[in-house]
Amino acid sequence: MDIQKIRKDFPILSREVNGRPLVYLDNAATSQTPQQVIDSIVSYYHGYNANIHRGVHTLSQEATDAYEIAREKIQKHFNIAKSHEVIFTSGTTHSINLVANGFTSLLKEGDEILVSAMEHHSNIVPWQMLCERTGAVLKVIPMDHKGELEMDAFRALLSEQTRMVFCNHVSNALGTINPIEEIISAAHAVGAAVLIDGAQAAPHMKADLQELDVDFYTVSAHKMCGPTGVGILYGKEEWLTKLPPYQGGGEMIAEVTFEKTTYADLPHKFEAGTPNICGGIAFGTALDYLNEIGMEAIANYEDNLISYATEQLLAIEGLKIYGTADNKTSVISFNIEGIHPYDIGTILDKLGIAVRTGHHCAQPIMDFYKIPGTVRASFSFYNTEEEIDVLVEGVKKAKQMLA
Ligand code: PMP
């Protein structure tokens, strides 16, 4: 991988922040956007901005074709059997809410649904709301201090009452890569459906959704070099057929009368209203960009980066890393004894270094470790060891100033 060439694709990486070269290490929150993706957004608005699926005119047909080609790119990238199993959404949060809403009519009082202890709030709250609506019970798959799920406890929680299991593929707060193959097969053995939140995994590894045999998988484009406000829900055809529509409106109907409305076929049944057309198209361009570099090359490069960063950071006295799973990627969550993470983040910003501080929308994890939050440095394939050196020096300086 020619990192210097890759970095030139990202205009933002050459800007300065507070008089210093930007060191962007908040990739788990959102990734940066290569010129190729920016160009695809510009060319849409320059050349063929129009509403899709409903116009006979040329612009509308061009926009429809580009949007549907993007759906096929996504289908191919994740090895999805049918393009109508790809539902465009505004991102992972929307995707999970769509499924949680759909299960309202499929669950009854006493049914059990299992969620892992290391979820983002968007993979917790919609299920709590579902439990309130249905009387189903939410049970938690515990984790240990390394930030790994306790798989024996998970197996013990599974029973004939278990209807669904939810887990992230990669934890945004700890970087743990969860053993989703085992989770999916154990859940299927008791007849439960599985939703995997792939928001944090998709930028770093290619999930083969047919091989995984997962029922639902969610992705946000903005974490993988695409724009904000667009993502997908993958659902197996049989599940998407069973679930009722989430929102009513234009695009999602077959026929509307005041007596009775019938719904469109997949994927349109779940795509009410005018979507983020340009965003969907640009998501396709982002996947082209990543695939040109190669997801395997990206994973290998990032593995080296995180090993280097872990080693360098641990050399700082008093620094503790949360999440030391054997299988992890691209996230280092840490604190320095006696210093609030927010204070470290503020000093790092003064030095041009962007990290995230706080609970990372995963408060239960912070409660588990009995901490208010962490400093999170999260890496992408366009980061370098030199940037990690700048981070390490910055953390040392923050420690000196604050201790
Ligand atoms: N799940 C995980 C693991 C995430 O990291 C995020 C984003 N931080 C989300 C869900 C929510 O994604 P979005 O805000 O794009 O809907």
Supply the angle between the helices 277-293 and 295-314 in degrees, to the nearest 10.
Answer: 80
Q: Given the CA of residue 197, which atom of ligand 1 is nearest to it?
A: 1
Q: Given the CA of residue 92, which atom of ligand 1 is nearest to it?
A: 16
Q: Judge if the beta carbon of residue 268 lies within 6 A of ligand 1.
A: no
Instruction: Outline where DSSP puts E strands in 67-168.
Output: 86-89, 112-116, 137-141, 162-168
- Domains in the chain (CATH in brackets) are 3-26+294-402 (3.90.1150.10), 38-291 (3.40.640.10)
Show Cβ contacts of residue 286 under 8 Å, excluding neighbours closer than 6 positions.
Answer: 33, 34, 37, 221, 224, 225, 226
Q: What is the mean pLDDT of residues 273-288?
A: 98
Q: Given the CA of residue 168, which atom of ligand 1 is nearest to it?
A: 3
Q: What is the mean pLDDT of residues 151-180?
A: 98
Instruction: Please name the residue whose Cα sits nearest to atom 5 of ligand 1.
Output: 172
- Over residues 340-396, the pLDDT tens digits come to 999 999 999 999 999 999 999 999 999 999 999 999 999 999 999 999 999 999 999
Rounded to the nearest whole angstrom, what is the distance from the C-alpha of residue 274 to the centroid of ligand 1?
A: 23
Name the residue type at position 74.
I
- The average confidence (pLDDT) of the chain is 97
- Over residues 362-373, the pLDDT tens digits come to 999 999 999 999
- Over residues 58-72, the pLDDT tens digits come to 999 999 999 999 999
Q: What is the mean pLDDT of residues 127-135?
A: 98
- ipTM (interface predicted TM): 0.99
Rounded to the nearest whole angstrom, what is the distance from the C-alpha of residue 30 to the centroid of ligand 1?
A: 9
Instruction: Respond yes or no: is residue 361 known to be catalytic.
Output: yes
pLDDT of residue 128: 98
Judged against a pLDDT cut of 90, whether residue 403 lies above it is answered with no
pLDDT of residue 374: 98
Q: What is the mean pLDDT of residues 266-291?
A: 98
CA distance 203 to 225: 8
pLDDT of residue 47: 98
- Over residues 184-196, the pLDDT tens digits come to 999 999 999 999 9
Helix-strand-coil split of the chain, %, nearest 5: 45, 20, 35
CA distance 95 to 108: 22
pLDDT of residue 54: 80
Judged against a pLDDT cut of 90, whether residue 176 lies above it is answered with yes
pLDDT of residue 93: 98
Ligand 1 site-directed mutation target among 89, 119, 219, 220, most atoms within 8 Å of CB: 220
Residue 367: CB atoms within 10 Å: 12
Q: Judge if the beta carbon of residue 120 lies within 6 A of ligand 1.
A: yes
Percentage of the chain beyond pLDDT 70 is: 100
pLDDT of residue 55: 81
Name the residue type at position 225.
C
Q: Judge if the beta carbon of residue 172 lies within 6 A of ligand 1.
A: yes
Q: Judge if the beta carbon of residue 91 lies within 6 A of ligand 1.
A: yes
The answer, yes or no, to whether the previous bond of 267 is cis (omega within 30 of 0) is yes
Provide DSSP, 262-322: EEPPTTGGG--S---HHHHHHHHHHHHHHHHH-HHHHHHHHHHHHHHHHHHHHTSTTEEEE
Show Cβ contacts of residue 56 under 8 Å, excluding neighbours closer than 6 positions.
Answer: none
Rounded to the nearest whole angstrom, what is the distance from the C-alpha of residue 215 to the centroid of ligand 1?
A: 19
Q: Which value, to the nearest 10 degrees, does the dihedral of the CA atoms of residues 137, 140, 141, 144 take?
A: -170
CA distance 294 to 307: 20
Rounded to the nearest whole angstrom, what is the distance from the C-alpha of residue 122 to the centroid of ligand 1?
A: 7
Q: Judge if the beta carbon of residue 335 lies within 6 A of ligand 1.
A: no
Show Cβ contacts of residue 92 under 8 Å, excluding neighbours closer than 6 positions.
Answer: 120, 122, 197, 198, 199, 218, 219, 220, 231
- Over residues 1-38, the pLDDT tens digits come to 899 999 999 999 999 999 999 999 999 999 999 999 99
DSSP class of residue 13 equals: G
First to last CA, the chain: 39
| pLDDT confidence bin for 209, thresholds 50/70/90 | very high
273: left (phi over 0), alpha (psi -120 to 50) or beta: left
Q: Which residue has the tokens 């926009």?
A: 63
pLDDT of residue 397: 98
Beta bridge partners of 140: 115
Rounded to the nearest whole angstrom, what is the distance from the C-alpha of residue 195 to the centroid of ligand 1?
A: 14
CA 41 to chain centre: 21
Tokens of 256: 């509307």
Instruction: Outline where DSSP puts E strands in 124-224.
Output: 137-141, 162-168, 193-197, 216-220
